[in-house]
Amino acid sequence: MYQSTALNADDFSSSWASVYPNPVTNNVVNIQLKTVSENTDFTLTNLLGQIVYKGKLNDIQNAITLPEVQKGMYLITVNQEGKKYTTKLYIQ
């Protein structure tokens, strides 16, 4: 027999990374982390899965200047000690 349990907010940990602003208007994106480790990096990919830009994150608050890319939708992935945070990022 299937047993159902209700989920509440305590079942989900709060996000450990945030990316803003979205949309990006001046080629600068901010990546804020809750903690920093030596192996924290990010990857910006287009919707075809091609890597457009990547780099290391060394601080809690990181201001990243992106290269000149075409306007449109991208995916940005933050990797930290086996954890991944991916979100859509619109570049104007």
For 54-86, how does the pLDDT look when each residue is reduced to its tens digit (9 = 90+)?
999 999 999 999 999 999 999 999 999 888 999
> Residue 16: which pLDDT band, with cuts at 50, 70 and 90?
confident
State the residue for tokens 């990243």.
64
- What is the pLDDT, as a whole number, of residue 37? 86
Q: What is the set of domains in the chain, with CATH numbers? A: 15-91 (2.60.40.1220)
- CA–CA dist 23, 8 (Å, integer): 30
In this structure, the number of other CB atoms found within 10 A of the CB of residue 1 comes to 2
Q: Which of 38, 37, 27, 24 is nearest to 87 (CA)?
A: 24
